Amino acid sequence: MNVKEFVQYRKGVLKDEAASFAKPPKLCIIQANDNPASDAYIRGKLKDSDELGYLSELWKFEPTITQEELLTKIEEANNDPSIDGLIVQLPLPSHIDEAAVKNAVAPEKDVDGFHPMTTFDPCTPKGICDYLAHEGFPFKGKNAVVLGRSNIVGKPMAHMLLKNDCNVTVLHSKTTPEDRKFYIEHADLIVVAIGRMHYLDSSYKYKDSAYVVDVGINRGEDGRLHGDAEPGLPVKLQTPVPGGVGLLTRLALMENLLIAKKNRE
């Protein structure tokens, strides 16, 4: 199945499962920025929730909100028994301590998987691993290479692949070209998340059986979105951009929301 088909299939399952509850799962999104990209991400999350018959609320505040006020609002959502999942949209205004905000969300409602004590897997790695598992990637003992070591994508991705028993190598801007070539050409799975258009190209000799997951989102000179990998690499599976990891990330949020609801029943 391609990513779009997989997402539609899982949405059908999530919709059916929620129908067994007296009340549908409910998501609360707290936004304290006026960032157009955040607005677009939030619209997507509200739309997904609506499509599944789930409930959602957006609590939007001015970016001038104080940290104390924001933490009070988070506490309010934590204590609201009708809310199953709570996320705080990033980025936050610079006067607000991101760690304090992430730590304030109740771990049992932390469907973004950001709290240190959370029981939820973070959405981008979870969405990717769920899809790879469905597509038959065997994980155990396989050589996984993660390109990029950011706190938001690279590190949590590497962590989840380790949890799935892969041999994990993380590459970054200080990796030499020789080592990069070696690791890429020995990889069974490559997850590329560096933010450079078509960085992974056909100059490498990939394994025919390799899976390539493209997390990158780059605006090309043509005004369109492009991934970090050149389309059509000679591998077994390659996720497209757009219509790839972004959709899987959104799906994983809904999967976590349903788990949160089940845990609270």
Binding site for ligand NAP (CB under 6 A): 124, 147-150, 152-154, 171-175, 193-196, 215-218, 245-246, 249
Compute the least distance from the CB of residue 153 to ligand NAP, in Å: 4
222 flagged as catalytic? no
Our CB check for ligand NAP shows the closer of 77 and 193 to be 193
Measure the CA–CA gap between 11 and 253, rounded to whole angstroms: 11
Q: Which of 48, 84, 110, 112 is catalytic?
A: 112
- Based on the residue annotation, tell me whether 67 is a catalytic residue of this protein: no
CB of 69 to ligand NAP, least distance (A): 28
Tell me which of 31, 48, 84, 89 is the catalytic residue: 89
What is the smallest separation between the CB atom of 210 and ligand NAP, expressed in angstroms? 18
Question: Are the CB atoms for 145 and 162 separated by under 8 Å?
Answer: no
Q: Which is nearer to ligand NAP, 44 or 107 (CB)?
A: 44
- Whether 112 is catalytic is yes
- Cβ atoms < 10 Å from Cβ of 243: 13
Least separation in angstroms between residue 88's CB and ligand NAP is 16
Q: Mind giving me the DSSP string for 50-89? A: HHTT-EEEEEE--TT--HHHHHHHHHHHHH-TT--EEEEP
On whether the CB atoms of residues 83 and 110 are closer than 8 A, the answer is no
Give the span between the Cα atoms of 167 and 178, in whole angstroms: 20
Q: Which residues are catalytic?
A: 45, 89, 112
